[in-house]
Amino acid sequence: MKWKKLLTFRWILLGLGLVALLGLTGLNVYSLYALHENTLKSSMEKPRNQLLEVSNETRNIIMNSLRDRFRQNIPLIEKAIQENGDMPESFYNLVKAAYEEPVFIDIYFSDSECEACDGNGSLQKFNPETSRMEWTNQIPDEVKDGIGMSRTRMRVLVQDYQYSTRVFFDTHRSLTIAFVNTETKQVVGYLLMTLNREYIIQEILEPMLLTTFGEEANNSVVVWLHDWTRNQVLASSHPEIPYQRRAEDFIQSFPEMLNNWNMKAAFMESPLVAAANASLIRNLTALGVAVFLLIGALVFMFITAQKERELALRQAGFLANVTHELKTPLAVMQAAGENLADGRVKKEERLRAYGKHIFDESMRLRRMIEKLLDVAKSDAGQLTLKPVMCDLAELTRKYLDEQRDYIEEKGFTIDFTSADDLSPVMIDPESYETMLSNLVENAIKYSFDEKYLGIRVFKQGKKVIVDVEDRGIGIPQSDQKNIFEKFYRVEDPNTATTKGHGLGLSIVKDLANHNGGDIRMKSSYRKGSTFSLHFPIFFEALKTRNGETKPIENRVEHVV
């Protein structure tokens, strides 16, 4: 009960530990990403502001020559229109200043009705030679469109409008200034300037993009001036980099002017961004490794504790078992001895039976004590081995000759084969006998229906192998990895009453290893098992460092 509680507690602790670890990792990953995003954002901030500046600066350049629009005498302009007289001087100053600006091509003026916009009638156009406005019938469509659009927009605006001028852009085609009589809430007329598209692109925007974002500016942004209505790139900060719609990171428009155009920006990988990415990857890797190690350590500690607990349980079971096992033969011997001592048993036959009983039980006791001693010695590193050159076929045959009666009495058929070409191995013969007897004992203990004992001694490559095969109950797959552990026994209803302590195989493995060999096992549940002892051939074990094989005769003399 206590164990169970402790076990549940351990699982809970492991669970909590893992959850805490994963939680912390999650938090860490989140903050690493947040840091990375912030670095990227702040590196984008500057180009964004620069693009906004380009947009504002373009507007300033275009509007620069039109500052005089605020100083117009609207009633005088209105009068001049009504009387078809000459415009005031301030009006001409505005027009001339505009005309000198290369951003504008031609300048037109219309009264508020603009009959010419509707198809007939005429407009005034600035003639630079006479520096006067002159009537003309040749009116380009863009002029009609520009004034028409301003007229429509002013109709909506004019009632609430407080200022004497209002500027409208017809995309990149024209700019119109509407003159408003703020008292009568009437539009007086429209002054329209056609825009020099090529000049704006080539002389204003392109140089600005190149100086602000071009190679020399080195701020890792490509900016394209893009006409979205025609899907056409008009200028770029890096003419060699083609426009890619997917690459756009952000867009800057020209508010209320050049409506068809946008500036589209894409980030190239700047050293800052590259460093941020590299640091993110580095941090994530370090975190991953640390978490992996921590989880590994946690699980390792848990498994070790679990194993220790199992061992402690098995040891406790073993102690109870051993005490019982020691008591049973002793009790039998005690009872038999008592009967003999009393002189109650007279018949010779009975006397013999009692003697045999005492002998068998004392042998059993001895075997058990020897096993326990072997384990204790091996644990304490005190195994004393006397390795000599051995012929395993011969040792096995000798063992079988001694044990044949006992084995056959148990109903077993012995199938022994040994190869002719066997090479000698260098082991302690007593150890070999212990190993063999443990394996044979197990084959006997764990076979119920088919009582078969196959023993084969043969050579394979550089090894001599001894197979001990039975057709008994076999070992379930899940137990196979533990079978050589001390005190480990398979929990099987068939063998619940079979005596044992889970020590035999661990002794065999220990002895095999100490003798330079190994043990392997193949088993299928309910079909049988084969345990194989592997020992290196003597002269292989004696190979010199550079791989030469010394003549075996010399060695034999040397060792024996």
Number of residues this chain uses to bind ligand ADP (CB under 6 A): 22
CA angle, residues 207, 210, 215, in degrees to nearest 5: 155
Cβ-based nearer residue to ligand ADP, 178 or 503: 503
Position 98 contacts ligand ADP (CB under 6 A): no
Rg, C-alpha atoms of the chain: 53
Cβ-based nearer residue to ligand ADP, 465 or 505: 505
Instruction: Map residues 425-464 to x or -, x wherever contact with ligand ADP holds by CB under 6 A.
Output: -----------------xx-xx------------------
Which residues, other chains included, contact 53 with Cβ-Cβ below 8 Å and sequence gap of 6+?
Answer: 212
- Least separation in angstroms between residue 357's CB and ligand ADP is 23
Cβ-based nearer residue to ligand ADP, 146 or 472: 472
Cβ-based nearer residue to ligand ADP, 502 or 536: 502
- Least separation in angstroms between residue 534's CB and ligand ADP is 17
- Residues 541 and 555: beta-carbon distance below 8 Å: no
Helix (H, G, I), strand (E, B) or coil at 263: strand
From 36, 151, 501, 534, residue interacting with ligand ADP (rule: CB under 6 A): 501
From 489, 512, 517, 555, residue interacting with ligand ADP (rule: CB under 6 A): 489
- Least separation in angstroms between residue 483's CB and ligand ADP is 5
Position 378 contacts ligand ADP (CB under 6 A): no
Q: How far apart (Å, rounded) are the C-alpha atoms in residues 439 and 418?
A: 17
Q: Sign of the CA dihedral 389, 391, 394, 395?
A: positive
Position 490 contacts ligand ADP (CB under 6 A): yes
From 123, 223, 392, 505, residue interacting with ligand ADP (rule: CB under 6 A): 505
Output the DSSP codes for 483-543. TTSTT-----GGGTTS---S-HHHHHHHHHHHTT-EEEEEEETTTEEEEEEEEEBHHHHT-
- Residues 200 and 104: beta-carbon distance below 8 Å: no
Cβ-based nearer residue to ligand ADP, 364 or 459: 364
- Least separation in angstroms between residue 363's CB and ligand ADP is 16
- Least separation in angstroms between residue 355's CB and ligand ADP is 28
From its phi and psi, is residue 461 left (phi > 0), alpha (psi between -120 and 50) or beta? left
From 122, 279, 362, 495, residue interacting with ligand ADP (rule: CB under 6 A): 495
- Least separation in angstroms between residue 405's CB and ligand ADP is 21
Cβ-based nearer residue to ligand ADP, 114 or 473: 473
513-552: contacts with ligand ADP (CB under 6 A): 529
From 121, 476, 500, 516, residue interacting with ligand ADP (rule: CB under 6 A): 500
Q: Sign of the CA dihedral 399, 402, 403, 405?
A: positive
Cβ-based nearer residue to ligand ADP, 254 or 446: 446
Q: Where are any strands of DSSP class E within 342-491?
A: 388-390, 413-418, 425-427, 452-460, 463-470
Cβ-based nearer residue to ligand ADP, 111 or 374: 374
- Least separation in angstroms between residue 324's CB and ligand ADP is 14
Cβ-based nearer residue to ligand ADP, 88 or 500: 500
**DSSP letter (8 states) at residue 251:** E
- Least separation in angstroms between residue 448's CB and ligand ADP is 10
CB atoms under 10 Å from CB of 88, counted, come to: 17
466-485: contacts with ligand ADP (CB under 6 A): 470, 472-475, 483
Cβ-based nearer residue to ligand ADP, 424 or 502: 502
Q: How far apart (Å, rounded) are the C-alpha atoms in residues 290 and 32?
A: 15
- Least separation in angstroms between residue 359's CB and ligand ADP is 22
Which residues, other chains included, contact 350 with Cβ-Cβ below 8 Å and sequence gap of 6+?
Answer: none
**Stretch touching ligand ADP by CB under 6 A, among 170-178, 253-261, 376-384, 500-508:** 500-508
- Residues 452 and 408: beta-carbon distance below 8 Å: no
Question: Which residues lie across from 413 on neighbouring strands?
Answer: 452
- Least separation in angstroms between residue 407's CB and ligand ADP is 14
Q: How far apart are the first and last CA of the chain?
A: 58
Cβ-based nearer residue to ligand ADP, 194 or 523: 523
- Least separation in angstroms between residue 317's CB and ligand ADP is 11
Which run of H or of E encompasses 394? helix 392-409
Cβ-based nearer residue to ligand ADP, 458 or 488: 488
Cβ-based nearer residue to ligand ADP, 117 or 503: 503
Helix (H, G, I), strand (E, B) or coil at 226: strand
From 502, 512, 536, 538, residue interacting with ligand ADP (rule: CB under 6 A): 502
Counting other chains too, the contacts that 135-141 makes at CB distance below 8 Å and 24 or more residues apart are: 139/108, 140/194
Q: Which residue has the tokens 């004590």?
A: 369
Distances (CA, A) of 224 to 45, 109, 247, 250, 513: 18, 35, 11, 11, 76
135 phi and psi angles, rounded to 5 deg: -70, 140
- Least separation in angstroms between residue 440's CB and ligand ADP is 9
Q: How far apart (Å, rounded) are the C-alpha atoms in residues 478 and 201?
A: 79
From 189, 329, 504, 517, residue interacting with ligand ADP (rule: CB under 6 A): 504
Cβ-based nearer residue to ligand ADP, 54 or 465: 465
- Least separation in angstroms between residue 411's CB and ligand ADP is 16
- Least separation in angstroms between residue 468's CB and ligand ADP is 8
**Stretch touching ligand ADP by CB under 6 A, among 32-40, 414-422, 496-504, 543-551:** 496-504
Q: How far apart (Å, rounded) are the C-alpha atoms in residues 14 and 305?
A: 11
Q: Which residues bind ligand ADP (CB under 6 A)?
A: 442-443, 445-446, 470, 472-475, 483, 488-490, 495, 500-506, 529
